[in-house]
Structure 1
């Protein structure tokens, strides 16, 4: 009888542990982020997302949007940060994701910088030169948009696929003549180079770029409250920056936290923050963004990517990949 009771107790213990384990797994949240400079990095560093959501978050750092897309597609990541170009590519391939907040409208935060002494003084000088950028990223999209605007045949420029950290290393070795990229690599290469154009100017030429937070659709359907709270923390961070941006100097606490989390030089952070616009809750819900404009922009990006042979299909409507309800809630 003692053996039976012991065995019964063991079975109950194993069962309880299994239930607890499955429950924990079901509620786990993995968030994919990148090194772009934005105010929400402060909330991330301070653990505000965890406090608000009431659960642990596994934050995973990625080098580019396409890497985030791959992780989301595999199910390893439930919420991720990526740019408009990888978003358009993912949606065009029917990846079940939904953009629930525009996290940045990219302006000077991404730029084409050419090396001092490379012989590149004007756009036409890019012919025959080696320019690096992470493929299918917002920077890649901006680079292609710039070449198109300048009337340059992209095949005559040696465009190579490098991640930001690889760009910084290749720049130091002298392997590349220029790069279209974001921080912290952008801050590094600017020290010995000059800006030929940036995402803001390319946007005015007809190829705007932006960043979004996306969630797997199945996760968003099961946990709409989590996604809504995640959006609120992000928007609160934007509001805090908007109210105190003048005090976010290189030696300020918020900027120091962003620098530590992203690996950027603190001295570069204020300028990089100023290089993007961070829409508040009211702006998010307008027809220019989540209520129509974002879906339209994704479609325009997809059309451009198809012209460049980066996607095979352009969907007639991308509204299924954008939702305003989480911000509205």
Structure 2
């Protein structure tokens, strides 16, 4: 789906490291034409009048700010994203900052964001509510950047050593998924460990102070820990993770502006493919000094993990099988009350690429 030194630094790294099946069902409108019920339409028209545009109001795509690193950060700096969107009479507005998907999903539902990146694990949980978004693209699981962390020198040497220990997780998302997968794979009953539920960006100080024995997390936060004296007890590959990163778009926006979603997807695909070839170029895009910069070993870890990543792709049959595996696992582990079928919440690959991709069913 698909950097500040503290939590803000690593939020930017999510885009660096990271950060479909069914056709959209709404009425398609011409690029730039405001649609009824679009909460951003008034702002778009106001901004257009201010610039004196004559071709009608531009469509504004609201995206969480990528910070100092990643494909979108470089696209923001060099103007390539703006140029790609301009071809479909659209422009970008950077809103807030990239972070965990749960709050971003709420902002999508409330009409405060148009697109956001997260994990399929968090998306499945969010889809159990009344979602106002659909998934349109995915990035293969980050086996190198996610997992269960312990401090160097910890007596915990294997997953079975977690019995009786406290592990920091964020509820209903990547962290909890990784821990539960590790326990399941090693035949350890869930009640044999203590899950300590924390907001993701509050977990680092709790882990560093020794208040928990381990921490299940992903690359946004693991980079600093790996650079500062921790290691993976089990990474994504070791737990058999199906945790794809996904991109979500507000449903009303996709219905009203499919050409903008297509242009944004195509930019993400090309930019993340280029990032894999030269990951160092995408670190510290705006500055290599100050709290937003990634330095020393953390920079080396970031470049290494990014180089082992994958580009943004449409969601097809192979990805759906693994999304189903996450949904099945979450209901079996009582994370969600019922099994979530993601198919009604997908945008077809044909819209994104112009060529149909088999998805194994859906709306």
Instruction: State whether TM-score is above 0.5.
Output: yes
Once residues 216 and 144 of structure 2 are traced to their aligned partners in structure 1, the CA distance between those partners, rounded to angstroms, is 11
Q: Does 1:212 align with 2:249?
A: no
TM-score, normalised to structure 1's length?
A: 0.78
Q: Does 1:66 align with 2:102?
A: yes
Deviations 1:252-286 (A, max 9, x none): x422228869764322211120342225xxxx35x
Structure 1 portions without partners, runs of 5+: 1-16
Kindly indicate whether the alpha-carbon contact (under 8 Å) linking 2:108 and 2:115 is maintained by their aligned counterparts in 1: yes
Q: Does 1:237 align with 2:262?
A: no
- Structure 2 residue aligned with 1:53, among 85, 88, 97? 85
Q: Does 1:256 align with 2:256?
A: no
- Structure 1 residue aligned with 2:229, among 172, 192, 198? 192
Once residues 162 and 77 of structure 1 are traced to their aligned partners in structure 2, the CA distance between those partners, rounded to angstroms, is 24
- Structure 1 residue aligned with 2:184, among 136, 148, 171? 148
For the structure 1 residues 198 and 35, does the alpha-carbon distance in structure 2 shift closer, same or farther, using more than 3 Å as the test?
farther
Query: Which structure would you say has the larger RCO, counting Cα contacts within 8 Å and 6 or more residues apart?
Result: 2
For the structure 1 residues 317 and 111, does the alpha-carbon distance in structure 2 shift closer, same or farther, using more than 3 Å as the test?
closer
Determine the structure 2 residue equivalent to 1:30: 62
Moved more, 55-64 or 223-232: 55-64
Deviations 1:148-198 (A, max 9, x none): 111112222122222343222223322221112123421222232231111
SS of residue in 2 equivalent to 1:209: coil
Once residues 224 and 262 of structure 2 are traced to their aligned partners in structure 1, the CA distance between those partners, rounded to angstroms, is 36
Moved more, 17-26 or 260-269: 17-26
Structure 2 portions without partners, runs of 5+: 1-41, 50-56, 355-363
For the structure 1 residues 19 and 26, does the alpha-carbon distance in structure 2 shift closer, same or farther, using more than 3 Å as the test?
closer
SS of residue in 2 equivalent to 1:80: strand
Kindly indicate whether the alpha-carbon contact (under 8 Å) linking 1:92 and 1:302 is maintained by their aligned counterparts in 2: no
Deviations 1:136-156 (A, max 9, x none): 222321221111111112222
Once residues 65 and 82 of structure 1 are traced to their aligned partners in structure 2, the CA distance between those partners, rounded to angstroms, is 5
1:102 Cα deviation (Å)?
1.0
Count of aligned pairs: 296
TM-score, normalised to structure 2's length?
A: 0.72
More helix per residue: 1 or 2?
A: 1
1:123 Cα deviation (Å)?
1.5
When Rg is computed on C-alpha atoms for both structures, the one with the higher figure is 1
1:36 Cα deviation (Å)?
12
Aligned Cα root-mean-square deviation (Å): 3.1
Determine the structure 1 residue equivalent to 2:258: 224
Once residues 106 and 253 of structure 2 are traced to their aligned partners in structure 1, the CA distance between those partners, rounded to angstroms, is 16
